[in-house]
Amino acid sequence: MALVGLFVRTRTRLGFSIFAVGENERAARLCGLPVARVRTLTYVISGVGAGLAGMVLSASTHTATAVYATGYELNVIAAIVVGGTSLFGGRGSVLRSVLGALLIGVINNGLNILNVPIAPQLVAQGFVIVVAVSFDQYVRRE
């Protein structure tokens, strides 16, 4: 999926349009991009991806409950922010997001292997997010 995302982002008009709308919606509109259509298509693609991820998770756990993946949002946000994607839009990379996801996965796996309780794991993830957002703000100022 990361390779498909990388291809779409770097080699297609849709990827360029999504990036342009994320960078500066007003400028994208003034350049003639159909901002509403691009935004809607982006949400549709995101929904399809979430559906596929749900099917994979359901198949791997042999369970299909609606609340099974509650709390995964923090992992996703941490992975994306650690990967260097700005929470304020306009900056990001598919490959860096994958690297961020791998780093968060290694941290979570290491804490699980060390039998760290879930509460300190969540605190560690929150700390990683705060550090990454602070670094992002520091870089944006320069």
Quick check: 100 and 84 in contact, CB under 8 A? yes
Same domain, 103 and 79: yes
Do residues 63 and 1 share a domain?
yes
> CA geometry: angle at 79 spanning 18 and 132, to 5°?
95
In this structure, the answer to whether residues 89 and 111 fall within a common structural domain is yes
Residue 89 is predicted with a pLDDT of 67
pLDDT of residue 90: 64
d(CA 65, CA 74): 19
Using N-to-C axis directions, what is the helix angle for 94-113 and 118-141, rounded to 10°?
150
Q: Residue range 116-123: average pLDDT?
A: 89
Domain that holds residue 139: 71-142
